[in-house]
A and B are shown apart, each in its own frame.
Chain A
Amino acid sequence: MIKNISNLGDASIYCDFGQDVNQKINSNVVSYFNHIKELVKNNEIKGITNITPSYNKLIVSFDLEIITYNEVKQIIENFKIKKNIIQNPKKIKIPICCDQEYALDLTSLSNKLNISENEILETHLNKEYFCYMTGFIAGMPFLGDIDKKLRTHRLETPRVKVPKGSVGITEQFCNIYTYESPGGWNIIGNTPKNIFNKLNFDKPLLINPGDKVSFYKITKQEYLNWNE
């Protein structure tokens, strides 16, 4: 449930679901997101410009010419969430090549964690991950939770350019860079699969919040010959 509602500036409302990050809280955030999305779609609430779910927060932005913070707050405080509003989660398998030229941080990660490179990859490939949210750049999925022994901080100096397709880990999370972008996550491989398709307007994302994602290893040859 929402623990606290406050304003983020004068044109957004900030719903705080607490400090913990887990699937239960995140599903609750997504239920609120879906509910408000329905209200917007059915024109039951006017002036909403964006709804942004994350691990344990929900930000609702609005057009200040149409509606104000107190009006949006009242609406959110007064509706009841229908159960099972989350759409059917999918199971998705992502190919990943972990050759040295793609696994940019595997060696340093192995030194930092004091685990062999092979064990890092095997541990990572051995688990199914939950998609908490998408964003930062178009379609980037934030997946979790990775095995406790693989958890570490971001790079001290973030990269100016992380190659498109890079699979990175930090703390309890894993993500996929859908575009070349600046970033500080520890890169352990790269996928040739298209995660964001801007030409598919209705369903541009391969991975959506709630989906289950696992990775499987491919060779460099398979990577280079990848054809969708």
Chain B
Amino acid sequence: MEELFTYYDMFATKGDEYLIIIAVLVLMIVFWKFLYMKPY
């Protein structure tokens, strides 16, 4: 257990993670349509 003398934000990446989740959900719709698209 090292001493802690400076602050480290353990949740720093959570904001970006949430943004990516939103993007993934949108992309999921696109991908699903793509998966079942009729071939040309």
Q: Do A and B bind each other?
A: no
Q: Contact residues of B with A, CB < 8 Å?
A: none
